[in-house]
A and B are shown apart, each in its own frame.
Chain A
Amino acid sequence: MNALLLDSSVWLAWSRRHGEPNHPAAAAIIKRRERRELEVCLLDLTPYELGNVIVRAWRRPAVQADRVVTAVLRIAGVEPLVPSPHERRAAWGLAEEHGLSGYDATYAAVAQSRRLTLVSGDLRLQDAGFAVAPAAVA
């Protein structure tokens, strides 16, 4: 079965139905998960990124951020992935080599290490070949 590592941009695009160019594809991915056609997972840093955007950028109450994070954990059905020491070292190598932030590089390193397809709406990750657009796997 296909296993996708969804970054925070995909989960957020799924949760906001209007004004998100990636919403239709993100929603289609979650529907495929609902039909058990694929597995989805997240990183341990994803809930913090979701909270940052929902509370600080969207200016919504904390209870709504918590509701989204709870839903995301339920949809994934597995605990968030925690980078191993080897993956952390690999991430810093990718950050150094490709000029990525530590957060971007951690997503990329964990996906590579665990043979997961990293899905992101972020063009920098897509252009560097570390992630595919949501529409590519919807």
Chain B
Amino acid sequence: MKVMVSIPDDLLARIDAAAAERGESRSAFLQEAARMRMGEPDPEVTEAIAWVEGLFDDLPADIPPAHVLIRQDRDSR
């Protein structure tokens, strides 16, 4: 649906510049801004979270926490 809204000239110029920087259309940029303002979950992120949820629940409990393993990994290279 097309709608008419009033936006000050300087704000519209900034919107267009920000959209161009992201490689998005003005329309896509404003839709995303509205979703952000309403706190709507990002479906891409929701899907990605589900890919990993529970994946490592069966890891042995005695494996050191990640920050310890990362420290070992960085210091060993």
Contacts and interface: CB of A to CB of B under 8 A. Distances in A.
A14 to B, nearest CB: 8
A16 B59 contact: yes
B73 interface: yes
A7 B47 CA distance: 21
Bin the interface of chain A by size: 35 or more
Interface stretch (A57-65, A80-88, A109-117): A57-65
Given A18-B57, A33-B45, A70-B51, 6 more contacts: A12-B69, A13-B67, A15-B55, A58-B56, A58-B63, A121-B67
Interface string A1-37: 0000001110011111111111000000010011111
Interface of B: 35-36, 39-42, 44-49, 51-57, 59, 61, 63, 65-67, 69-75, 77
A27 B72 CA distance: 23
A89 interface: no
A49 B35 CA distance: 33
A123 interface: yes
